[in-house]
Every structure is written in C-alpha cells, then in structure tokens.
Amino acid sequence: MRFRWFVCVLVIAGFGPPPAAAWVRAKFFESRFVSYLHADPAADGNALMEGRLAFEGRREMARGVEMFVAPEVVGDQRSLSAGILSQVHDRMARRPNVNVAEAYLDVYGKQVDLRIGKQKISWGNAVGLNPTDVFGAFDYADLLDPQRLGQVGFRGYWYPKRAGVSSVEFVFLPVYSPSRAGRVNTRWRTLLDGTVPVPLDVRFPANTAANAGYGLRLALPLSGWDVSASYARVVDDVAGGARAGGLFVTPLFLNKRTVGLDAARLVDEGRWEVHVEAAYTSTPSGYDDDYLLAVAGGRRSYTDFYKTWDLDLTLEWSGEHVYSTRRSPGTILQTLVQRPAPGSVLADARIDLSEFTSLRIAGVYTSRGPDAFLVSTELAWKATDLLELRAGFDALSGDGGGTNASSYEENDRWRLEATIHFAPPGK
C-alpha cells in the first residue's frame, strides 16, 4: 500500500503542470527494477522496485547571492525508505520519502566564493576509489551504487592574485553527518567483520567544536601537472565498534586525520589524461589502522576505433600500505568500506555504438588474499531527448579476504532502469 501511494504521488508531482511562477521544477524521474539470481533467506525479498523524482531550483536572491535547492521524493517496496520528511543533518536510519538533498546559498566575490548550507562535498579525480575524498557521507543501502548525502557546512574558495596558486579551498562542517549503513534485513547488510549497521539508538557524536570537521585544499600548477594538496580532520562517517560480548557491539565514531595529494595532466599530445591520488590517514585514538591509500591511472578517448564506434577507456591501479595496525581482537574496523579493494586494478570502458546507444563494461580485480572480482555491464538507449532506458548485469565472485566481492558474491543481479527528463520551461 505504501509503495502504491508513493507511485501516485510521483505521477501527480512529476506530470502535473507546475505553477507558472515556480522556480523549483521537476528535473527527472528515475525508476529501477532489480532482480537477484540467488535466494537469500536473511534478506527481505529477492527483488527491488524503487523510484526517485528529483527537483531542482536556482534563484538569485541579491547581487552576487544565489539560492540552490534540490528536493526529491523517493520510495521502494522493501522499506529502504521510511518517514515523510528528512532531517536537516540526515541522521535517519532509512532514507526519507521526501528529502532535501541539497539546500545552500552561493555568495560570489571578486576573489572569494562561499557556499553555506546543506551540500555534497567531493574531493579527488580518480574513477574507482578516491583516497582524498574524506568528507563523503554516503547511503550504503546498495554498496554497488552508494549515494552521496548532503552535509551542513561551509565551503569557501579563495583565488589569490599571486602567480603559482590556482585556489585555496576551505571546508568546515559544524554538524556531524554519518553514512547510512545497509540494513540487516537486506542483501547489502553490513557484516561484522567490516563495519556495523547503525541502529536507531546509537548516540552520535555531539555537535561540538571538538567533533567539527574541517579541511584545507591548495590547488596549483606544477611542471605541467594540476596538483592539489590537502589536509582534513573529521569524525569518521562510518561507525566502527568495540565488542561488548557475543554479537553485542558498542559503536565507535573515531577522529581521523588525512593528508592527501592528487595530480593530473595531459600526455602524448593530449591523447591521455593521467592522474595519481594518495592519502595517509591516522586515528589518534589508537583503535584503527594508520594506512596509505594510493591510486594511479589514465583516461583516453578513441574516435572511430571500430567503424563508427567511439571508445572512452579508463585504467586504474589502487593499493594500500598499513603502517600501524592498532586494532585489538575486541575492535571492529570502521574503515573497510572506504578501503574496499586494496591491491586492485580497474578497467572502465564506454563504447558509443551510435548517437543514441552506448555500452559500458567495468570491472575490478583484487588480489588481496585469494582472488576476487566485480564486473558490471550496462546497455543504454536514448529513446528520445527526454527518455533514457538502461539494462545491466552485475556479477561478484571470489574469496578476497573481506572485500565486497567476496562478502556479497551471492548478489549477482540484473536490472532495468528508466529516466524521464523534464524539459525546461519554454521548450
């Protein structure tokens, strides 16, 4: 009944005529059907139907000041979504049915830009894994398709006139925002040997100065490279835990510090874009590892590589080195979600078969312990300017010593997706 009600709301909101003076308008409606190949008695069903109606609006409030909002309506038949309205800091255990994904003010100056409010913050330029992306709170209801969550905070850019420095970025998050873990009655439930689900009665870190997140990022050109150096101090968005006996766990939200570096440049007369990204992370509390994550790779586009087909290819390697293993037998690591595939190679290829049809094939192979791999394929067809249809298959396999591929190798699935884009006013 709840899912039928949700569908009715989507139809009315998405296809009903918007007020002429409305500045927040429907952007797209996305629906997805997923069917898993293997039964999972512990999960609440082997199929998933879900939909999302996204709105977006930007309005000038004053000279140099703009407001941006991105409301959305989401729902599914497996109770991954519950509750009518979202919280500003988004600490709900399930996705809210009506959510404000982002809502912020942009203030523009001559040398300084400032963004204030609920926003999605991402750092790094790699495709598969971003070691420097430390501010990301995610919804892990589907580990193969995590959704970034908005966080309440301040983000500023300073563009100095002096030569040699492109920009200085500052991030300050006074309100703690956790990631949303996979629920225990779903296929993507978080396992105890990785991270623990966040139940409703968890006491989150207080919104105090000691728990505020902040970071500084300096961007500059260096010998043909676009280089960024960063430092961040945050409370981890994923809960670890200390065993309290049996399966009982006391959640731990640890402070961590990260020093990062990423760089990118064009080589071979612009045919290849190469990039490297690395970050060293430490936990002063001593419960977790001190480790270095690194990614190196490249991207290249081929025109007419086979008849009229075009190819966009990305190749990456990622690895980690643990400098100090501080955990005890009673501690559950909280960082394994952020470290899903150490010692891995990634290949991501998009083939444009025609102006309207494309095929994407992506795979990750990891050699940590016994081999493990993940392969994902997707065929997309642009039926009209406003309608896109997709069909895909995801396969996981192997005994990779705690990697996602080995922990969830029974989650092979096929999926059908459709996205309806709404034309801007006047078109």
Q: Tell me how far the alpha carbon of residue 370 is from its chain's centroid.
A: 27
Point out the residues of the chain with pLDDT beneath 50.
1-17, 19-20, 191-200
**Per-residue CA distances from 375 to 231, 345, 372, 397, 412 (Å):** 34, 12, 10, 9, 10
| Count of Cβ atoms closer than 10 Å to residue 243 Cβ | 15
| Count of Cβ atoms closer than 10 Å to residue 43 Cβ | 19
- The confidence score (pLDDT) of residue 12 equals 40
| Count of Cβ atoms closer than 10 Å to residue 206 Cβ | 9
- The confidence score (pLDDT) of residue 367 equals 74
Distance CA 273, CA 270 (A): 7
Distance CA 157, CA 124 (A): 16
Is the four-CA dihedral 122, 125, 127, 130 of positive or negative sign? negative
With tokens 């979202």, the residue in question is 86
Q: What are the tokens at 46?
A: 């082997």
Distance CA 141, CA 156 (A): 31
- The confidence score (pLDDT) of residue 265 equals 94
Distance CA 420, CA 82 (A): 24
Question: Does residue 185 contact residue 201 with C-beta atoms inside 8 Å?
Answer: no
> For residue 10, which phi and psi values (nearest 5 degrees)?
-60, -45
Q: Which amino acid is at 174?
A: P
Distance CA 240, CA 249 (A): 9
> pLDDT tens-digit profile of 366-422?
876 557 889 999 999 999 999 999 999 999 887 655 566 667 888 899 999 999 999
- The confidence score (pLDDT) of residue 209 equals 85
Distance CA 73, CA 16 (A): 15
H or E stretch covering 7: helix 2-15
> pLDDT tens-digit profile of 211-260?
899 999 999 999 889 999 999 999 888 776 666 655 556 677 788 899 99
Question: Does residue 379 contact residue 330 with C-beta atoms inside 8 Å?
Answer: no
- The confidence score (pLDDT) of residue 371 equals 73
- Among 34, 35, 39, smallest CA distance to 50 is for 34
H or E stretch covering 407: helix 404-407
